[in-house]
Amino acid sequence: MSFDLPFRFRRLRKNKTIRDLISRVELTANDFVYPIFVEEGLEGRAESDSLPGVFRVGETALAAEINMLWEKGIKAVMLFGVSHHKDEEGSDTWDEEGLIARMIRIVKDQAPDMVIMADACFCQYTTHGHCGVLINDHVDNDLTLENLQKQAINAAEAGADFIAPSAMMDGQVMAIRDALDEAGFEDVGVLSYSSKFASDLYGPFRGAAGCSLKQGDRKAYQADYRHYELALEESMVDIEEGADMLMVKPGTLYLDVLKGIRENTSLPVAAYHVSGEYAMIKHAALAGALDEKKVVLETMVAFKRAGADLVITYYAPQILDWLKD
Ligand SMILES: [Zn+2]
């Protein structure tokens, strides 16, 4: 006997060919940005303790690393410096011979078509580990904006395609856009960390990048994860300030915010699959609790389904290998 059902969804799922024909999300090499930690003075590569499979790369090994990634199909990288020249303000970031300028030049020399997203912040370059100028234990917004302008121009001069401010200072997109235009870099874009939450999922990154806070937290400048509307508003304000692309960070726990931004703009939106999200899958897989490949691909599809155009993830090279299988 058969029931008179209003609709039988199983007709659309009968076999893989039909499922693939009607699927609305396809992962390709064009979806991924790979974050790289470049450590000053390091010889070769060193695996991160907290992030198995993620390596800090020395400057002398960076060209070979970029060559390998380009051959693999990686088209965009986000560079994070692991600095051993820290001071109170992070002045190495605007030094023409500083780590940011050097690592960008190495990547551009090796792979001129590789898109470089230059993270713009100070926490990896300050002795206190905060994301800006510290005055009486408080990060001063406008003094930090001036330094962000200097850092952005330095990165643009070295060859960055996009400046990606992650400091979460108010007005950072406008300040960087103004500085770039004034210096003649109208074609260098701004990828704003527009909805970046004060999350505890950044822990493994801070270990890998050597930028743990000496004291305090970042809750006075990063977004409060209990407030959806303000996080959305922060992205909308960044559009007014001149952002070319937006970002939600972290990704997995913030798909509602990603979808909200998607529904309010046609600009490209990125999701940052952060170190803690990587670590949760990686360590569960190492313990035999999860199928790593299946869970990673499901996660990436979820970002795209929610509206992401780009995903920044430490899994990027591995995903490209899996997609070729
Ligand atoms: Zn920072």
Question: What pLDDT sits at residue 209?
Answer: 77
321 residue type, one letter: D
How far does the centroid of ligand 1 lie from the alpha carbon of residue 3, in Å? 59
Cα torsion 29, 247, 103, 158: sign:
positive
Domain ranges of the chain: 25-246
Tell me the fold of 25-246: TIM Barrel (3.20.20)
How far does the centroid of ligand 1 lie from the alpha carbon of residue 8, in Å? 51
How far does the centroid of ligand 1 lie from the alpha carbon of residue 104, in Å? 18
pLDDT bin (cut points 50, 70, 90) of residue 36 is: very high
How far does the centroid of ligand 1 lie from the alpha carbon of residue 250, in Å? 14
Low-confidence winner among 121-130, 174-183, 215-224, 302-311 (lowest mean pLDDT): 215-224
Cis peptide before 268 (omega within 30 of 0): no
Q: What are 25's two structure tokens?
A: 């999300």
- Rounded distance between C-alpha atoms, residue 273 and residue 303, angstroms: 9
Question: What pLDDT sits at residue 204?
Answer: 87
Strands (E), 92-161: 115-120, 133-135, 138-140
Q: Which residues carry out catalysis?
A: 196, 249
- Rounded distance between C-alpha atoms, residue 133 and residue 144, angstroms: 5
* Residue among 164, 8, 1 nearest 80 (CA): 164
**What digits encode the pLDDT tens for the residues 203-256?**
888 877 777 787 788 888 899 999 999 999 999 999 999 999 999 999 999 999
- Rounded distance between C-alpha atoms, residue 227 and residue 245, angstroms: 22
- Output DSSP code: residue 265: -
Dihedral, 27, 121, 278, 245 alpha carbons, nearest 10:
-20
Q: Are 150 and 111 in contact (CB under 8 A)?
A: no
pLDDT bin (cut points 50, 70, 90) of residue 126 is: very high
Q: What phi, psi does 271 have (nearest 5°)?
A: -115, 135
- Rounded distance between C-alpha atoms, residue 124 and residue 103, angstroms: 14
Q: What are 284's two structure tokens?
A: 């569960």
How far does the centroid of ligand 1 lie from the alpha carbon of residue 119, in Å? 9
**What digits encode the pLDDT tens for the residues 251-306?**
999 999 999 999 999 999 999 999 999 999 999 999 999 999 999 999 999 999 99
The residue-averaged pLDDT of 174-182 equals 98
Q: Are 222 and 197 in contact (CB under 8 A)?
A: yes
How far does the centroid of ligand 1 lie from the alpha carbon of residue 141, in Å? 13
> How many Cβ atoms are within 10 Å of 278's Cβ, its own excluded?
24
186 CB-contact burial (10 Å; exposed 0-12 / middle 13-18 / buried 19+):
exposed
Q: What is the CA radius of gyration of the chain?
A: 20
Map tokens 């990896």 to a residue: 124
Q: Is 242 left (phi over 0), alpha (psi -120 to 50) or beta?
A: left
Distance between start and end Cα atoms, the chain: 43
How far does the centroid of ligand 1 lie from the alpha carbon of residue 305, in Å? 29
- Output DSSP code: residue 223: B
Question: What pLDDT sits at residue 280?
Answer: 97
The residue-averaged pLDDT of 64-77 equals 98
Q: What are 26's two structure tokens?
A: 């396809």
- Rounded distance between C-alpha atoms, residue 110 and residue 116, angstroms: 12
Please state, rounded to an integer, the average pLDDT across all residues of the chain.
Answer: 96
Question: What pLDDT sits at residue 258?
Answer: 98
